[in-house]
Chain A
């Protein structure tokens, strides 16, 4: 069973469209994250939720809206997609405190045409 699963793995869409990426973890973790891998392959945090509550919102455009219906799910909705949104997006989760390791999903490669 995959611990942190993201769907879809690939997403190709036109500028201006709205799209969602889903993330689910079956580890019972309290904290979930969205990271963006930028053009330099650097992992940058976007959002973090702890027990469905937004903890970190890292100066991400308002077009990006995370939603956590329960602590096992953290979805990312993106409105009015732009060319610059093309990237790989990773979901991750963590059990407890900051000395616990992060578990990552397999990534969603978003291409905006």
Chain B
């Protein structure tokens, strides 16, 4: 069974601070790693899908890196803003159709 873990579970940062959190996954049989942003009372929205070891993706102030050999991905937010407050989920495919989601990192950015 694939185990996807995220840390920390939650964090509070001040507006303007940069922050990062981790997603770890089994490195064997790796296929892809997804990051989603989930605002309260809304639905998860995809940020990145990463497939290549060493890959780095960027979307505005948010970026992610991938290390498939050691089984981790980092999500970075530069200059956090209150609107970045959300739960950030990572997920990894297990088989062709199933995704295993981590429990998420709940980010609160304080103004």
For A41, what are the chain B residues with a Cβ–Cβ distance below 8 Å? Answer: 87, 103-104
- Stretch with Cβ within 8 A of A (4 or more), from B18-26, B44-52, B72-80: B44-52
For A43, what are the chain B residues with a Cβ–Cβ distance below 8 Å? Answer: 44, 89, 101
Residues in A44-76 with C-beta less than 8 Å from chain B: 45, 48, 50, 55-56, 58
- Stretch with Cβ within 8 A of B (4 or more), from A14-22, A79-87, A96-104: A96-104
Say whether, besides A41-B104, A56-B97, A100 and B49 are in contact (CB < 8 Å). yes
CB A48 to nearest CB in B, in angstroms, measures 5
| Residue pair A55, B46 in contact (C-beta under 8 Å) | no
Q: Which residue from B32, B49, B97, B104 sits with its C-beta under 8 Å from A55?
A: B97
| Residue pair A50, B97 in contact (C-beta under 8 Å) | yes
Chain A interface bracket (under 10, 10 to 19, 20 to 34, 35 or more): 20 to 34
For A25, what are the chain B residues with a Cβ–Cβ distance below 8 Å? Answer: none
Q: Which residue from B31, B45, B49, B96 sits with its C-beta under 8 Å from A104?
A: B45
Bound-state Cα–Cα, A58 to B97, Å: 12
Q: Which residue from B34, B51, B95, B96 sits with its C-beta under 8 Å from A102?
A: B34
| Residue pair B46, A103 in contact (C-beta under 8 Å) | yes
| Residue pair B87, A107 in contact (C-beta under 8 Å) | no
| Residue pair A99, B43 in contact (C-beta under 8 Å) | no
| Residue pair B97, A102 in contact (C-beta under 8 Å) | no
For B71, what are the chain A residues with a Cβ–Cβ distance below 8 Å? Answer: none
Q: Which residue from A40, A98, A105 sits with its C-beta under 8 Å from B43?
A: A105
Bound-state Cα–Cα, A56 to B99, Å: 11
Given A101-B49, A102-B36, 4 other A-B contacts at CB below 8 A?
A4-B43, A48-B98, A98-B97, A99-B32
Rank and list the top 8 A-B pairs by shortest CB-CB distance, nearest first: A101-B46, A98-B93, A104-B43, A99-B32, A43-B101, A48-B97, A104-B44, A55-B97
